[in-house]
Structures are given as C-alpha cells and as structure tokens.
Structure 1
C-alpha cells in the first residue's frame, strides 16, 4: 500500500492560527507520527510525505507528486479555525463522490477509528470541492483535527500525547481500510505498563485505588534507584506491544498522564540500572526534555524536537538519546574536547584533544547524525532514505552490535565499562524530576 501523506500548509503559509499555535506545526507533527506508527508496525507500506519539515509546496505540486508516484491513498492532515467557539473533528471527501464510492467507504472507516480516541466533538463526515480531493487520482480524504482558535481544542493540540493519539486513530483507520498486516512481534519481550512512580507509598496506593475505581487492575511494587526507594504502580504486563499500548491508552483516558511502557528486564530491585532497548518509542515530550535541561543549564540549545522527530522516524528512543547527548556534552556546556560550533552532540569521532571529532553544519544535522549512529548499532535494517546519511561513521559500525544502552559499553565509549549505566541513571534522574513535579502538583491539590 502506497500512502501519500500531506500535512497541510508549511513554510510561509502557516495555515490557521490561534492560542499561540500554527496549523502547519500541529499537522506536521501528527503526520510524522502517522508515518512512524504505520511504517514501524505494518508490513508492505510505503509512505511519501508532501513535506517533512517547515517548507512550502503548492497544492498542484502535492497532487502532481501523489499522482506521479501512483499512490493508493491521499491523506491530507489539517486543523480548522472559525470564530473561536466552533470546535471538533470532521473529515471530507470530494463533493462529486457518493457515500458508496471507495473514498466514501474509506472515509467511514477512518472517521470511526479517529473519533474513537481523539477526544473531540464529532462534527460528522462531509464533502467539499478541495483541490487535493478533486485533483488526486486516487481515493482521498482530508481530516480537520480540531479548531485551533478554540481554547479547548487548542489545549489538546498542545499535548504531544494527544497528537500521538490522533495519529494512532488515523493509522487504525488505514489498517482497516487497506487490511494492513502487523509486523510479527516475536522478540519474546514482555511489556509492562507503569501507571505512576512515587516516593510516597501512600500516593502509589491511592493511584491503585483510583485505577480500580475505573475498572483497571494494578498493584504497587518497590524498586531501588540510586539508593532511593520508589513505589511503582504496574497495571499489566503483555507479550504484545499492541496490547500494552491499548492498556496505556485506557489509563490515559482515565486521566493519568504520567503512565508509560517499559520492557521486562529493564529494571530490578537490586539497584541494577535498567538496560532499556535503544529501539523503541520516545516517552518524554520535547517540552519535558527542554524543561529539564534548562533547569540544569539555562543556555542549553533546544534540541528536543529534533530528537523526537528523528527518533520516531528511525524507531530510536529519542528521549534517551537526548540524555546521552547531555552526558556527552556535560549538559551542553561542552567542557570536553568537542566544542559547541561542531554541533556534535554525541562525541562522534572524538578521540582526544588532537582529534575533537566530526562537525556538522547545523544543530539539526548534528542530531540526525547522532540518531543515525544509534540506528547503526541497534538495527540491521537498511537505513531509511527520507533523510541523507550524515553520520560519517555509520559504515564503520558492526550493524546490530548493541541493542540496549548498556551494550554500548566498550563500543561507543572505550573502555566505557559503565557508559550505558551512566546514561540510564541520568535518564532515570530526568524521569524522577518530571515525576517530582507531578507529585508536587498532587500535594498542592490535596492541600
């Protein structure tokens, strides 16, 4: 199945504006997430995007490109605006088409799946004479994902987890429409759903009681992290990542935003640091990553969006990669041999004062090189071709030689006996900082 994915507007055309947001930014993020989910989880899917960054392309260029590529489906992602009071989700096929047309049948399926989970008012299935619907030679749909000038819809749009949810709804619809087959999950990994971590056992037990009131079974267990006891709430363990994500969705729908998934073996109660797979979903939002680093170094560059975008595209844990960059650069203070103007955030090629390593033209390129180098270590798959290869050492890596952060020991850093453990420990510190802020809010509410 060949999907032409079209995030609307871009470049000098911001699209709709409202509540400090630009349509072009919101829809690009949703589209990138759609691409990541569908290519990582389904077989025989090709995706071409009209844009993958903040660039402009005419409507004619978009449809011509989709037609020349012979796409099977045209999916255009948008947000709406009207008078500040209108709100909700709606989607469109071309006005000349009947409900029983192929576009109409696909619209039925996508509309059903998207509205199941997008938390928006359902404004219905509609028809219009939009260029991308009229001039595309294949079945096409245009989705309007909320009103950016409505304060309630805009609040959702600002939340990365909501944009992830919207993307998942689109993918669920596409999977049904095109009978997509999931890639086999034969790793033997167990996925644990964690519905909160607390320093207070009382707070953890209150979380369990709340979950049980929502029909979600869970329990509390303790773990030792850097000499401190933490109480973690587990709400299920699954051999299928898909089932774990469904449970995670249930928990988030119950109003709990600090839930996440870990893999079995990624922790222990004996103060052994988790290994964590290098390949996987990014759980910390760019806002949380940037907030943490600004606490430590107010002058640090804001790179988190790059780590999220490239991490999701290559299937790499972008949040832990971000923490690896913190570790390598001393919180972006660059107190070692690598200097800020190199845009080298992971020490690529740096061996000492006489060899400070690679340099990259822009911060964006530096982050891309970092993620590509991790992909080389963690995967044996061919490098996806959406972005150019900028990692100068990609072909020097033994492919698949390190699938977890701890197995980077002695490979990324030499001798690097505790290199991976240091990254994981720093990541946990970042997580704890985020959790502590949530606990402080809980205590304020109680007071």
Structure 2
C-alpha cells in the first residue's frame, strides 16, 4: 500500500489554536506516530508525508505531490475548532466520492472511535481541496476540538495521541489487508558513545529485502543476525550484523566462523564511537556493491590495531570464553549496547518463558539515545521481576522502569504501548546520565523527566538513592544481573562455535 499521509497545516500556518495548543503540532505528532506504527509493524507499506517537521506547504503542493507519488490512499489528519461547547470526532469525504472512499472512511470512523474517548459527531462530506483534487480515495479526520476544554486536555497527552494514531493504523490495516511483519529487525539510529567496537558484518546491500534474506539464511545456520543501516556518499546501505566486540581478537575469531559457514564476503567494521556516528571498514574504503547476493564491502585481510579491550566492554558472549563482566563501580550509563535483541530475549525466557520480546526496542531506542540498552533491559528485569510484575506495577501499564511507583496506592505511570514504555524508561535514564538536550526523534513521554537533576547520575551505581530510595545497592544489583546475561550469552555462543567447528 502506498499512503500519502498529510498532517494538517504547519510552518507559518499554525491551524486552529486553543488551550495553549497549536493544531499543527498535534496533527504532526499523531501522523508521525501513525507512520512509525505502519512501517514498524506491517509489510509492504510505503509512506510519503506532506511534512515531517514544522514546515509550510500549500494545499496545492500536497495534492500534486500525492498524485505524482501515485498513492493508493490520501489521509489528512486535522484538529477542529468552534465554540467552547463543540466537541468530538468527525471525518470527511468529498461529496460524490467513490465507493472506495466511503468504504475506507467507514472503517476509519469505527476504529478511531473505539480508542479516542471523544464524542461521535458522525460521518460527513465537504468540498475540501485535499478531498477534491486528489486522484485517489481520500479521507480527512477531525480529531477533537482544540477549543473545547475536555478535548484539549486529551490532546495534551502523548498517550492519547498514540491511541488516535493506533486507531488510524488499525483501520488502514483492515481496509487494505495489511500483513503484520513476522520478524522485526532493528534499524538503530547511531548516537555518540565512547569506546571502540569491532562489528562483524555478513553483507552490505542497497535493497532492504536482500539484507532481510541474508538475515534469514544466517539465523537458519544458528547465527544471531539483524540489519543495521549506514550512509555512504549519501546512499543508504543495509548491513547484516552478526556480532559486536570490544576485542579485535574476538571479532576476528567470530569472522572466521562466519566465513566457514559460507559467508565468504563477511568483513569487520570498526566503530570508534565518534560523534559522527560513522564506522570504518577494516578493508579498503571502496563503496559496497549489491548484486542481490551476500556482497560485502571487503574482506578482513588486514588488521587495524591492537585488541582494544575495554575494561568493562569485553563482549565475552562472542568470544567463546567467560566474559569479563562490568565493574560494579563507575560503569557509565551512556555507551554501546553489546548484547543483541535475541540474546536479551533468550535470557529472560530462561526465567519467564512468557516474557514479552522487548529486546529489539531496548536495542534500537538505546542506540538512538546512546544508552547501554542491554543494561537498561537488565534494569527492567530487576524492576518487573523478569516481566512477571509481581509488585504494584501491573503488566497493562507498560511501565518497565517503575516510573512514579512509590507505594501501594501509587502504582506509577501508564504507557499506551510497550514502545512508549521503553522510550519513557530510556528517557528517564538519559535525564540522569547527561545534561545534554534530549534528542527529538521521539516525543517526551517520561512524565518525570523534568523532575530529575540532569546529569546527576552518569553511572549505574550513581542511581543508588535516586532511582531507588534508599537503594544503596540498586545499581550493583542491575550490573550483577547484567553479568548473568553476559555469561548466558557466552555459553550459547561457545556451543555454536563447537557445533560449526565439528
């Protein structure tokens, strides 16, 4: 499905205003959330947005762009305004619109009304430009009245905007028969972090589908593989990663195993953790090629220096030896994520077989914020008793960090989705770890972010007496649990090495 997604207004046109809100901000946030849901959860979805930031674009530009794109459907997100007593949700199609527009509008209306907590004002028709000038079926939704106190109070809540996005996504999935993704591979956004990592790559591709096929083949051979992106000379490439090590020696050993398994074009990328987020290949810096097979950027014929063992970042789970666990003192919250999503998920299921698979979220979002996502995952296990929620926080709250949970009558914050819960957790850690501004890819969902003394706890043990009160060994408990995760993953990889070598 090709969707043209149009958050109303923007830039010099704020749209409707009321109760301290601008329509352009609300519509953009809902649209971005909707885009992420569709792209992350469904197959064969292509989305073009009229804007992804606070920019100005005319109605004519929007419809012309949608028509040139050849969209299957045009969806325009808006917020209403009238007298203070007017409230509720309504949606529009063009008078005399096609039966397809009516069909999709009916599904959208039903699904959005299930979740938006608004009064139903019905299905309507209007001679709006974006409905009239588009060549494809089109619907415009008005998601509450910014001029009404009840509706505006909801609009101020990130969880409500997420619900509205989810309602629209559910409707589009039903209307266009979208199929859910069976495997979600992480596409991390690089973030500054200290230390050097040696990442083993089993191919680099221009086409995402080729990278996904490579991942499937590697997993069938017993390797924990996933896709990461990189940009070379302005072009996006999809690399297949099968390991990350702070020791070059360990990376070389793993590369040998991968090549013995038939992936002869595998190579090592050196990530020095620089602020640019760029990595350096261990072979000549020629551009990668994509021939539809497992083509890489080069081989690992040379060496780029010493072993590079970090005091706390030796990726022992990929060495075949017992890992060197982190010290329980002074270990920073900011830094690279060592364990893969599968390693995190496999570990928690040794204790709780019914645990949700959140490894991908902690990996991806942790990479974005530059936080050690695998140790944050260990903290979530500590807080939730391995996602069994035996304390005051309930599973439905998606609160994996116990944010705001202070006693029997205060079970803490509730987040609409698991993703939002993980984002809140990592935002709260970011607030403690650094005083730098919060990156803006994700909206602020941590309700206690501004209550934290910024940068007051740069290490895990600094959280003692802050995250948990008195909690004099809180950080040590998290790191001890992380050691167990490393040992478990090391043993699994040692078994894989023995199997391949036999």
- Aligned equivalents of 2:271, 2:283: Cα separation in 1: 14
- Asked whether 1:193 is paired with 2:218, we answer no
Q: Deviations over 1:129-187 (max 9, x none)?
A: xxxxxxxxxxxxxx5245379x55753699886522xx22xx242399xxxxxxxxxxx
Unaligned runs of 5+ in 2: 5-31, 58-200, 237-244, 258-269, 285-297, 302-306, 315-322
- Aligned equivalents of 1:376, 1:313: Cα separation in 2: 14
- The worse-fitting range, judged by mean Cα deviation, of 356-365 and 267-276 is 267-276
Q: Could you say if the C-alpha distance between residues 280 and 147 of structure 1 is closer, same or farther in structure 2, counting changes exceeding 3 Å?
A: same
- Aligned equivalents of 2:384, 2:38: Cα separation in 1: 28
- Asked whether 1:416 is paired with 2:416, we answer no
Question: Corresponding residue for 1:174?
Answer: 234
Question: Corresponding residue for 1:326?
Answer: 381
Q: 1:147 touches 1:154 (CA, 8 Å); kept in 2?
A: no
Q: Deviations over 1:241-293 (max 9, x none)?
A: 8899648899x9659xxxx9874466898994364321222222222211111
SS state of the match for residue 350, structure 2? helix
1:296-335 correspondence to structure 2 within 5 Å: 296-335=351-390
Q: Could you say if the C-alpha distance between residues 295 and 248 of structure 1 is closer, same or farther in structure 2, counting changes exceeding 3 Å?
A: farther
Q: 2:38 touches 2:45 (CA, 8 Å); kept in 1?
A: no
Cα distance, 1:408 vs. partner?
Answer: 1.3
Q: Deviations over 1:19-46 (max 9, x none)?
A: xxxxxxxxxxxxxxxxxxxxxxxxxxxx
Q: Could you say if the C-alpha distance between residues 192 and 312 of structure 1 is closer, same or farther in structure 2, counting changes exceeding 3 Å?
A: closer
- Asked whether 1:348 is paired with 2:374, we answer no
Q: Could you say if the C-alpha distance between residues 445 and 286 of structure 1 is closer, same or farther in structure 2, counting changes exceeding 3 Å?
A: closer
Q: 1:119 aligns with which of 203, 207, 217?
A: 203
- Aligned equivalents of 1:284, 1:9: Cα separation in 2: 35
- Greater Cα radius of gyration, structure 1 or 2: 2
Q: 2:381 touches 2:387 (CA, 8 Å); kept in 1?
A: yes
- Aligned equivalents of 1:67, 1:355: Cα separation in 2: 38
- Asked whether 1:436 is paired with 2:436, we answer no
Question: Corresponding residue for 2:319?
Answer: none
Cα distance, 1:428 vs. partner?
Answer: 1.7
Q: 2:219 touches 2:225 (CA, 8 Å); kept in 1?
A: no
Tell me the matched-pair count: 286
- Aligned equivalents of 1:356, 1:423: Cα separation in 2: 21
Question: Corresponding residue for 1:398?
Answer: 453
- Aligned equivalents of 1:329, 1:237: Cα separation in 2: 33
Q: 1:192 touches 1:237 (CA, 8 Å); kept in 2?
A: no
TM-score by length of 2: 0.46
- The worse-fitting range, judged by mean Cα deviation, of 394-403 and 312-321 is 312-321
Question: Corresponding residue for 1:163?
Answer: 227
Cα distance, 1:403 vs. partner?
Answer: 1.4
Question: Corresponding residue for 2:49?
Answer: 62
Unaligned runs of 5+ in 1: 1-7, 12-47, 71-116, 122-142, 177-190, 198-205, 212-235
Cα distance, 1:329 vs. partner?
Answer: 1.0
Question: Corresponding residue for 1:144?
Answer: 207
- Aligned equivalents of 2:254, 2:227: Cα separation in 1: 27
Root mean square deviation of aligned Cα = 5.0
- Aligned equivalents of 2:50, 2:364: Cα separation in 1: 25
Q: Could you say if the C-alpha distance between residues 148 and 375 of structure 1 is closer, same or farther in structure 2, counting changes exceeding 3 Å?
A: closer
Q: Could you say if the C-alpha distance between residues 294 and 399 of structure 1 is closer, same or farther in structure 2, counting changes exceeding 3 Å?
A: same
Q: Could you say if the C-alpha distance between residues 261 and 323 of structure 1 is closer, same or farther in structure 2, counting changes exceeding 3 Å?
A: farther
TM-score by length of 1: 0.51
Q: Could you say if the C-alpha distance between residues 416 and 302 of structure 1 is closer, same or farther in structure 2, counting changes exceeding 3 Å?
A: same
Question: Corresponding residue for 1:376?
Answer: 431
Q: Could you say if the C-alpha distance between residues 320 and 152 of structure 1 is closer, same or farther in structure 2, counting changes exceeding 3 Å?
A: closer
Q: 1:296 touches 1:331 (CA, 8 Å); kept in 2?
A: yes
Which structure is higher in helix share?
1
1:169-248 correspondence to structure 2 within 5 Å: 171-174=231-234, 192-193=246-247, 195-196=249-250, 207=253, 246=280
Q: Could you say if the C-alpha distance between residues 321 and 58 of structure 1 is closer, same or farther in structure 2, counting changes exceeding 3 Å?
A: closer
Q: Deviations over 1:291-336 (max 9, x none)?
A: 1111210111222222223222222221111110001111111222
Q: Could you say if the C-alpha distance between residues 163 and 316 of structure 1 is closer, same or farther in structure 2, counting changes exceeding 3 Å?
A: same
Q: Could you say if the C-alpha distance between residues 162 and 304 of structure 1 is closer, same or farther in structure 2, counting changes exceeding 3 Å?
A: closer
- Aligned equivalents of 1:390, 1:332: Cα separation in 2: 21
